[in-house]
Chain A
């Protein structure tokens, strides 16, 4: 710690100098603190969603059914009449024991369905091509075609229960890029209930 000094410089008289050493000491300490605790902001974003309360299922259903005991097991077509016109992207996961070179949990086949289709349509090449490199561009192209025909309002993504989460988000990204604004995730049929704790 330095002391306050008075400088006498010839005929200039007394000159008071500002003592900056303690301030510099403190500044370095603060700087050291910030450097040590520095954590650059993570490049995280979010995908927002809403959960329908169980009691609202019956209200929204066109058949006015009673509130289900297990809301996730309800047929998605019965949930909200406004979703009946939605385009559905169904992603089937590769199951264990399936004779394929693909890894279990990765997408096996992609189907598309509109309210006019009787049966879901298999996206050509989705059962053989690489999902990221080949299938997603095809899906985007197909969805853009559908969007240009006026089916732009809603899109549902129905992934298999065993599908890896990252592939759902890839499909979500593709649908957004194709111009769909309201995207809904369809809950899968859950067999094994939970393994939430280690």
Chain B
């Protein structure tokens, strides 16, 4: 760091420091990833799949379902008591209606592509996955995604 003497004292040259700080800010702004707490549950250990593909942004909206190793819905739905297929179906129908209404309010014409994203723990059973998808199907959803880690 350089300093210049102007007769009154030492003046620290802050320009390189400012440059560096602005570059760091730029880096963080570009890589920022605000996580919505209703979408992700940190306790879930996703399975590994090297063939999983990166996210696509073709859907108008998403509904996130987080399932723990025991096959129970956690995260934002933890306190909803969705303990039967009928309750889950009713919840999903409400969510779907709400998303479709907001899509129409935004000027969307026709069917909205709403995707159910299932973030299931690697330890849960095949039947748990399908119990949940069964309710999604009954609620009128046509698209789903299984989330997996692409790298450990």
Say whether B84 contacts A193, CB under 8 Å. Answer: yes
Asked if residues B123 and A34 are in contact (CB atoms below 8 Å), the reply is: no
The answer to whether B22 has its CB under 8 Å from any CB of chain A is yes
Contact across chains for B21 and A46 when beta carbons are under 8 A apart:
no
CB distance from B149 to the nearest CB of A (A): 6
Contact status A24-B148, CB under 8 Å: no
0 or 1 for each of B62-79: is its CB under 8 Å from A? (1 = yes): 000000001111100110
A-B pairs under 8 A by CB, number: 201
Q: Which residues of B contact A11 (CB under 8 A)?
A: none
Q: Once the chains are docked, how many angstroms separate the CA of A46 from the CA of B14?
A: 46
Q: Is A13 in contact with chain B by the CB < 8 A criterion? A: no
Q: Which residues of A contact B130 (CB under 8 A)?
A: 72, 161, 187-188, 190
* Chain A residues positioned under 8 Å from B145 (CB to CB): 46-49
Chain B residue numbers with a CB within 8 Å of A46 are 52-55, 117, 145-148
Interface residues on A, range: 35 or more
B150 touches A195 (CB 8 A): no
Complex: how many Å from CA A39 to CA B14? Answer: 29
Closest residue on chain B to residue A56 by CB atoms: B142
CA distance A192 to B84 in the complex (A): 11
Interface of chain B residues 1 through 52 with chain A (CB within 8 A): 6, 14-15, 17-18, 21-22, 24-25, 28-29, 31-35, 40, 46-52
CA distance A54 to B125 in the complex (A): 23
Measured in the bound complex, the distance between the Cα atoms of B130 and A193 in whole Å is 10
Query: Restricting to A165-198, which residues have a CB under 8 Å from any CB of B?
Result: 165-166, 168-170, 172-173, 176-177, 187-188, 190-198
Rounded to whole angstroms, the CA-CA distance of A7 and B5 in the bound complex is: 12
Contact B142 A194 (CB under 8 A): no
Residues A128-173 near B (CB distance < 8 A): 159-166, 168-170, 172-173
B126–A168 CB distance below 8 A: yes
Q: How far is the CA of A163 from the CA of B14 in the complex (A)?
A: 62
Which of under 10, 10 to 19, 20 to 34, or 35 or more describes the interface residues of B? 35 or more
Count chain B CB atoms within 10 A of each CB in A41, A168, A177, A196 and give the residue with the most. Answer: A196
Interface mask (A107-142 → B, CB under 8 Å = 1, otherwise 0)? 000000000000000000000000000000000000
User: Across the interface, which residues of B come within 8 angstroms of A7, CB to CB?
Assistant: 6
A48 and B53 in contact, given A23-B18, A24-B18, A164-B124 (Cβ under 8 angstroms): yes
Given the known A-B contacts A50-B142, A165-B124, are A45 and B80 also in contact in the complex, defined by CB atoms under 8 Å?
Answer: no
**A82 CB within 8 Å of chain B:** no
Interface string of A26-44 (1 = CB under 8 A from B): 0110110011011111111
Which A-chain residue is minimally distant from B138 (CB atoms)?
A54
> Is there contact, CB below 8 Å, between B126 and A161?
yes
| In the complex, A53 has a CB within 8 A of chain B | yes
- B20 CB to closest chain A CB (Å) equals 10
In the complex, the 9 A-B pairs of residues with the closest C-beta atoms, listed nearest first:
A45-B52, A34-B28, A166-B122, A161-B127, A166-B47, A197-B83, A46-B145, A176-B51, A45-B150
